[in-house]
Amino acid sequence: MPEPDKLQWRSAFGWSKSSPAGRADPKKGLVIHYDSSDQNLAAKEHKACVDYWKRTRGFHTGPSRGWADIGYSWGACAHGYVMEGRGLFRTQAAQPGGNSTYYSVTLMTGPKDEVTDAQINAVRQLREWLMEPTSSTSGTVKGHRDFIATSCPGDKAYRMVREGTFTKPARWGPETPAPPKPTQPSPPSASKPKPPTTTAPAFPLPKGWYFGPRSGPTYSVSGYYSYRADLKRWQQRMRNRGWVISVDGLYGAQTEGVTRAFQAEKRLAVDGKIGAATWRAAWESPVT
């Protein structure tokens, strides 16, 4: 599944690309939150949502909280945007007892605020995206009050949690529902993946070298991680194919997970190393 239609990474708000919070690998699902005060963001321009998100981070990192970063993994605003907070593979400060095992998303609403259809769909897209191979969360959706005694995420949103509103299939594309599935089987030729139409750029490393963990000839420069602008190009190509991956030029656990899953899918040697064959397949193998 591709990333949400309206995804804003934290760098768009002037923050560092990666959260300074500790690493984690949440697998159990997604937790819904809200604000204790009404915000009326549905009646305002999206800029008001961005301002709210920045204020929230300022409050969380300020003297009254002193946290390393904004508390939530993500935010979903009334206009259908998914806004990165701590983001992927980070411990949160959102739901005690589940900060390293669940991702979190706040609806940016208060008790009387409308939860819009676009906002609901943004959460659905986020959930489906997080269920991709690299993040591999379960489809479970819970509310903050499932962890501790709190009014969060409000009676309205919690009712949606209990009724399964956020676990229904998302719509994808700008204001367009997903096309209906055909009622009749497609002919064999139509079911085959489209042939590749893009020629891979030349592999940037010498023969026998690869991007990967430090062992043998590699461009790793500090243990398990490596950095090169060329690696960013491969990561961007994988994101364009629909994989959940940060385009940062770092070879770390996330990039290795994507590499191994992609190699298995394309029946390449599954070793986590981005060599010439894995590099070429990112451009020339059909998207399946």
- What confidence tens digit (pLDDT) does each residue in 69-123 have? 999 999 999 999 999 999 999 999 999 999 999 999 999 999 999 999 999 999 9
pLDDT at 159: 96
Task: Region of 101 please: left (phi>0), alpha (psi -120 to 50) or beta.
Answer: alpha
pLDDT at 176: 41
pLDDT tens digit sequence for 174-224 = 554 444 444 444 444 444 444 455 899 999 888 888 888 655 454 444 334
Describe the crossing of helices 229-240 and 276-284 by its angle, rounded to 10 degrees.
40
Strand, helix or coil for residue 142? strand
Q: What superfamily in CATH does domain 7-167 come from?
A: Peptidoglycan recognition protein-like (3.40.80.10)
Give this prediction's pTM.
0.64
Cα-Cα end-to-end distance for the chain: 11
The pLDDT confidence band at residue 264, using thresholds 50, 70 and 90, is: confident
Burial of 1 (0-12, 13-18, 19+ CB in 10 A): middle
> Sign of the CA dihedral 246, 247, 248, 249?
positive
Residue range 192-284 in CATH 1.10.101.10: yes
Q: Could you tell me which residue, 63 or 251, shows the higher pLDDT? A: 63
The pLDDT confidence band at residue 255, using thresholds 50, 70 and 90, is: confident
Strand, helix or coil for residue 15? coil
Structure tokens at 44: 């305002």
pLDDT at 220: 43
- DSSP letter at 146 equals G
Strand, helix or coil for residue 90? strand
Q: Tell me how far apart the alpha carbons of residues 252 and 257 are, in angstroms, rounded to a whole number.
A: 9
pLDDT at 268 exceeding the cut of 70: yes
pLDDT at 25: 92
pLDDT at 247: 86
Burial 208-238 (b: 16+ CB within 10 A, else e): ebbbbbeeeebbbeeeeebbbebbebbbebb
Where are the domains positioned within the chain?
7-167, 192-284
